[in-house]
Amino acid sequence: MTKVYLNADGSCANIGEWDLRPMLNEAGDVVITNPIPEGVTEAEADIVTGWDDGVYVATDPRRNKT
């Protein structure tokens, strides 16, 4: 099982840790430049290699070119 982030419709937004891209602003404060979008949830899922050698959540029908 791998950490994934799913959109509200169940499609995969990200596989693995989300890169929040923290940076320091001019005042020296940490600012998140790539926040997790609203409606995206964290889950655990099996990951498989698809027909195109891409990685997919195992339940994604696109893994078989459908």
Between the alpha carbon of residue 35 and those of residues 22, 48, 58, the distances in Å are: 9, 26, 25
pTM of the model as a whole: 0.77
Per-residue pLDDT tens for 32-41?
Answer: 999 999 999 9
Per-residue pLDDT tens for 40-64?
Answer: 999 999 999 988 998 888 888 888 8
Residue 7 and residue 51: Cα distance in Å, rounded?
23
Boundaries of domain holding 18: 2-64
**Count of domains in the chain?**
1
pLDDT number for residue 66: 62
34, 38, 44, 50 alpha-carbon torsion, rounded to 10°: -70
Asked if 13 contacts 45 with a C-beta cutoff of 8 angstroms, the reply is no
pLDDT number for residue 15: 93
